[in-house]
Amino acid sequence: MSRTESEKVVSVSARGQATIPKEFRDELDIDTPGRVKFVRTEEGEIVVRPITSVTDLRGVLEGKTDEQGRSGTERLREERERDKASEAALRQRYAGDDETDT
């Protein structure tokens, strides 16, 4: 281990939880409660990285589906289509009301 590396041993609970030592949380500016991501490097090491923006979450749902087998992208598209239809119906409804009021 080089001089720039430090090491702490932590326990893993029966639920798979481990506490990130305060020294590392402070150094990486990890808020609690918060989120981190685990990254496997090309060398096979697991690295803990803080989530600093929404873009850090990109890819976390890749390959995951809901109970109907839809991906996150598919669900989002369906929801946007429903929103567009609802908005169009509201526009048509209230545009019609404006014409009858004059």
Per CATH, is 8-57 categorized as 3.30.70.360?
Answer: no
CA angle 49, 54, 59 (to 5 degrees): 75
| Model confidence pLDDT, tens digit, residues 32-50 | 888 888 889 999 999 888 8
β-bridge mates for residue 49, sequence order: 37
Per DSSP, which regions of the chain are E strands? 36-40, 46-50
Is the pLDDT at 102 greater than 60? The verdict is no
| Distance in angstroms (rounded) separating the CA atoms of residues 6 and 48 | 13
Select the more confidently predicted residue: 90 or 34.
90
Q: What is the pTM of this model?
A: 0.46
Confirm if 60 and 51 have CB atoms less than 8 A apart: no
Q: Where are the domains positioned within the chain?
A: 8-57, 69-102
